[in-house]
Chain A
Amino acid sequence: NAGVTQTPKFQVLKTGQSMTLQCAQDMNHEYMSWYRQDPGMGLRLIHYSVGAGITDQGEVPNGYNVSRSTTEDFPLRLLSAAPSQTSVYFCASSYYSSRTEAFFGQGTRLTVV
């Protein structure tokens, strides 16, 4: 199984550019989420989805957009990149159950210059 596939692994953007981080899972998980990881701050939730067609905001949603047209895919769009969005981004998925672990993609290191 591929698990959670996240692309790209690295990206450099100029301020004001837009881009989409791709995330796909093949485990039929209902719950998918996007986090950003900054030094000394752990992971912070950007957006999440509990199923196709359903998305909601997390702790730090500003500047990001998501959609969930299928169970498998959950792309994250940066609308107009800013240096403050320089971070490592993780996509995660899990069954819609509180006890189950989250499975993570390999992360995207994004630098905005």
Chain B
Amino acid sequence: AQTVTQSQPEMSVQEAETVTLSCTYDTSESDYYLFWYKQPPSRQMILVIRQEAYKQQNATENRFSVNFQKAAKSFSLKISDSQLGDAAMYFCAYKMDSNYQLIWGAGTKLIIKP
């Protein structure tokens, strides 16, 4: 069965600095998709970034980028120039190409220090 592991329950970073959140997953599939979602205190789940496993190039969305290492089954999220509004829970999720269910990690709480 596929699993997603986020080993950092909580991370903190100084405002304007860079932070990396870790995610590893276990799968025997070759085609799949990976996502990072943000959940601020409002509870709303917001897509941050997505990565297709068949693409070697790492996805980037403004200050957010990923380091996708397919062989190592690793999918970390880098947030550059951290802002107070980045404070939230961050969830890593996996979806197989042949199945539309999302498998979720336990989440990392990101604290931004002003």
Contact = CB atoms under 8 A, between A and B. Distances in A.
B89 to A, nearest CB: 9
Nearest to A30: B100
A40 interface: yes
B104 A43 contact: yes
B91 interface: yes
A101 B35 CA distance: 8
A107 B52 contact: no
A84 interface: no
Contact of B50 (A31, A58, A101): A101
Interface residues of A, number: 26
Nearest to B47: A101
A50 interface: yes
Contact of B101 (A45, A90, A97): A45
A98 B98 contact: yes
B17 interface: no
B105 A88 contact: no
B97 interface: yes
Nearest to B35: A101
Interface string A91-103: 0101011110110
A102 B9 CA distance: 23
Interface string A20-56: 0000000000010101000011111100101000000
Contacts of A74: none
B47 to A, nearest CB: 5
A21 to B, nearest CB: 14
B107 to A, nearest CB: 6
Contacts of A90: 45
The 5 tightest CB contacts between A and B, nearest first, are A42-B104, A104-B45, A107-B43, A43-B104, A101-B47
8 contacts: A40-B9, A40-B106, A42-B106, A43-B104, A50-B100, A97-B100, A98-B100, A99-B33
Interface of A: 31, 33, 35, 40-45, 48, 50, 58, 88, 90, 92, 94, 96-99, 101-102, 104, 106-107, 109
